[in-house]
A and B are shown apart, each in its own frame.
Chain A
Amino acid sequence: MSNATLERTSDLSTRRLAGIAALVAAAVFVLWGLVAPASTPGRILRVMFTKSALSATLRLSVPIAFAALGGIFAEKSGVINIGLEGLLIISAFTGVYATDVTGDIWLGLLIGVVSSVLLAALFAVVCIEFRADQIIAGLAVWLIALGLAPFASQVIYGGPNTASVETFNTITIPGLAGIPFFGALFDASPMVYLMFVATVASWYTLNRTSFGRWVIASGENPKALDTAGVDVTRVRYAAVLISGLLAGIGGAALSLSLGQFVGNGQTMVNGKGFIAIVAYLFGNYNPVGALLSTFLFAGLDALQLRLQAAAIIAVPQSLVRTIPYVAVIVVLALFGKTRLPEAAGEHYESGEDR
């Protein structure tokens, strides 16, 4: 026990050193690029800081950010929802299918969200009512969606990919959209704007409303909340359903911005739900922090796509593709100092003591 404590303190300082080293390396990279625009760093920087790169980052952020916001609500309340990936997949498919059937993209979005909320409700019942292990139930949600969505597509469209449907039109704010680089913020899909609204709303809900307090108390010390006269089970159900709602918007937005659900392999969601978990952990359960870390990962993803296309560095494409995931590991190892809610993952049963 004593040695462990000792090691942990020394471990922290080496981590801090490594973190500083990483930041210095990044700074050197940027300076080099600025001083010598013709060098490799210079060319990479030029690819990074374009309006189209920012707009790609925002587009790639949408599903991750919504899933991360949803994950915050669930985990803050004490229910670890690693089924976010599954919620994204199911709503991505249902959103496109419903748009195809109804011909209305907004109605498609709504139905996509409903499907995700229903799957989240199933997860909530299994975890809260039947006290199943949250991690296993979460994996089940993912596997169910991963099997169900391409199968439904196969039945309906005769292949893992659905037919094409209409996509969200971009909303352009005149004038502001013309600003270099940052103009991308004002020339985007309505889902991008909604992402910012949802982040602020989530932050407000968690930090300024009674419900937010209850969610936090439910994840930290459910017994305290129970003795204060608030039903822990209801708070947890609400939080998990909110995670279904938010992840549902993210999933439907993902497929509806492409106009098609792609069901090959890991489907078009392709790990975004898991990146979302990393994003909110790295953001320390703060919605704004989660959004910023989402930008980091989505930005690296956008960069990776551009590096592949531009072939600036002589590295095999498949290695370039791993950049965002390598970044996840590096970031978590060097900078992660997340404090998990005390009662996360634990069941709570009210009633007679002990």
Chain B
Amino acid sequence: MEPAVHLDGITKRFPGVVANDDVDLLVERGSVHALLGENGAGKTTLMNVLYGLYEPTEGDVYVDGDGLADGDDSPHRYAQPPKRFDSPADAIDAGVGMIHQHFMLVDPMSVTENITLGNEPRKWGGLAVDSARSRDEVVDLCDRYGFDVDPDAAIEDVSVGVQQRVEILKALYRGADILILDEPTAVLTPQEVEDLFAVFEELTAQGKTIIFISHKLGEAMHAADDITVLRDGKNVGTVAADDVTREQLAEMMVGREVLETVDKPPVERGESVLTVDHVSATDERGVEAVSDVSFTVHEGEVFGIAGVDGNGQSELIEAITGLRKPTAGSVAFQRDDITNWPRQRRIDEGMAYIPEDRHERGLVMDFDLTENGLLGSQHTPPFAESGRIEWDRARTHAQDIIDEYDVRPPNRDAKASSFSGGNQQKFIVGREFERDPSLVVATHPTRGVDIGSTEFIHDRLLDLRSNGKAVLLVSSKLEEVQGLSDRLAVMHDGEIMDVVDPETVTEEEIGLLMAGEQLPEDSAARSLTEAGDRSVAAGGESQ
């Protein structure tokens, strides 16, 4: 084995937190190495150390072919002293390039201008950028690595997948031999993910080394040669992707057996909590997105809505939560017609909402957790007394959510933007559940969340159900809605195709409904639309 990178005993401490604890990492030259772990396991911190963004508290970084090539892993044998990267510029000089989760691109500039930024070829004694030469160099680079990128396109006009390739080209243009990618697939469509993995193969074939950070088991096993699992800042182990099973990896990640199936205790179904009656709604363009949808959610019930994203789920949920005015129909909550209620009143009366876009609707990124924990309750006692906010109360509230929902790092004074996506989500879930709601509207509650937190959120949703609360769950993850729901509605093109029993329905049948077809006559799946309606008619009589 010929290592390209050797991290030796890296420890990185932040005030109050140990992000990396004595981590060793050995990456073979010309391989794809996945760094797998849950949100907050210290993957990004470790890579930021390698890239010179953070200085390690302890430990050494070796990145040098000459020093590492003698085949002996013992650091004392290296001809070269360890590297000290004080800044990304040092790391770039040593051949390390990093592609961040949020791209570092200048939108109005062209692909070529972005790739050459800071290293522009010049002419006339430095008085002008040699545009022709920059373009040629970029075209050459694209040809060499088989990238299909238009060098003259403006960044704001190209897709996210292309932008990511521009980032990779930028690193290659600066002579990177080792490429670090932070969660590269998070922003990509499935097709773009395949293209990216093809790019990995092309790059490693030409001797480049790739390290990518991921929390998705499947893609690590699919794309990587070796996988190193981090948990709580420690290296749990490095395995070859071919010699390991999903279950083994999952166990390494969370440190215990992952329960594949959700344990769902039987609960007596109670009175109706939410009744959606012939609701229609339009989207931003004024096109009808929800057409004549009716259903009822009862106490002690999880009502799931499955469907391909963009089939009217978002608009329907917004119509229910008061963020969008339905064009027809009515929404009833407990005993009241709430169609024209303002948002605040819905919150006050016990409707909790986990929004699908946590950055846009769930949190104010520039607020700390104390302030975020207050959102939605800022006018109501005990957090507000006669127009004045009780900050002490708000602080203990935020701290309770942090403790209860295991938000890491446990710092209520840190800005929301400084937390990882999974921890942000846990905080939102905590805030909404702590309202003691009678109804929780949860849209994609586990999107971008690691396995451990996902399981946690699922358990909490089922706890609510056991306590006789109603849950309306929207998710594009089939196993999630199928596993949690008592009744499952499938949406297609703004309509509910059918409401089925998630226990008896098959994945193929859900697929049919999601594609807009009807269930075949001889289907074993029980259609529950009638049952739901009947119970409404009978005034919420339990089944």
Contacts and interface: CB of A to CB of B under 8 A. Distances in A.
Given A213-B113, A352-B54, A220 B106 contact: yes
A354 B417 contact: yes
Nearest to A220: B106
A285 B113 CA distance: 19
Interface in A1-49: 1-2, 5-6
B284 A5 contact: yes
Interface in B128-165: 128-129
B89 A229 contact: yes
A133 to B, nearest CB: 15
A303 B92 CA distance: 59
Contact of B122 (A210, A223, A224): A210
A209 B118 CA distance: 11
A225 B126 CA distance: 19
B107 A221 contact: yes
Contact of B128 (A2, A209, A225): A209
A223 B104 contact: yes
A344 B454 CA distance: 39
Contacts of B282: 2
A2 to B, nearest CB: 4
Interface string B262-290: 00000000000000000000111010000
A229 B118 contact: yes
Interface string A187-229: 0000000000000000000001110011011001101110111
Most chain A CB within a 10 A radius of its CB, from B106, B283, B324? B106
Nearest to B323: A1
B107 A353 contact: no
B120 A210 contact: yes
A217 B129 contact: no
B96 interface: no
B369 to A, nearest CB: 15
B286 A6 contact: yes
A281 to B, nearest CB: 16
Q: Is the interface of B mostly helix, strand, loop or mixed?
A: loop
A229 B92 contact: yes
A354 B282 CA distance: 38
B48 A214 contact: no
B118 A214 contact: yes
B127 interface: yes
Contacts of A229: 88-89, 92, 118-119
A10 B463 CA distance: 48
A208 B284 contact: no
Nearest to A223: B104
B118 A220 contact: no
Interface size class of B (residues with CB under 8 A): 20 to 34
Interface string B86-130: 001100100000001000111111000110011110100011110
Contact of A220 (B107, B128, B170, B284): B107
A210 B107 contact: no
A230 interface: yes
B45 to A, nearest CB: 9
Contacts of A349: none
A100 interface: no
B418 interface: yes
B258 interface: no
Contacts of B217: none
Given A228-B118, A352-B53, A2 B109 contact: no
A210 B88 CA distance: 20
Interface string A226-261: 011110000000000000000000000000000000
A342 interface: yes
Given A208-B129, A213-B129, A216-B106, A2 B119 contact: no
Given A210-B120, A229-B89, A229-B92, A224 B104 contact: yes
Interface in B6-33: none
A209 B113 CA distance: 11
A342 to B, nearest CB: 7
Contacts of A352: 53-54
A2 B327 CA distance: 14
A354 B418 contact: yes
B117 A217 contact: yes
14 contacts: A208-B128, A209-B129, A210-B122, A210-B129, A220-B107, A220-B109, A221-B106, A221-B107, A223-B104, A224-B105, A225-B118, A228-B170, A339-B108, A353-B53
Given A217-B106, A228-B117, A229-B88, 4 more contacts: A209-B129, A213-B129, A221-B104, A221-B106
Q: Across chains A and B, which 7 residue pairs bring their CB atoms closest together, nearest first?
A: A228-B118, A224-B104, A2-B284, A229-B89, A210-B120, A220-B106, A230-B118
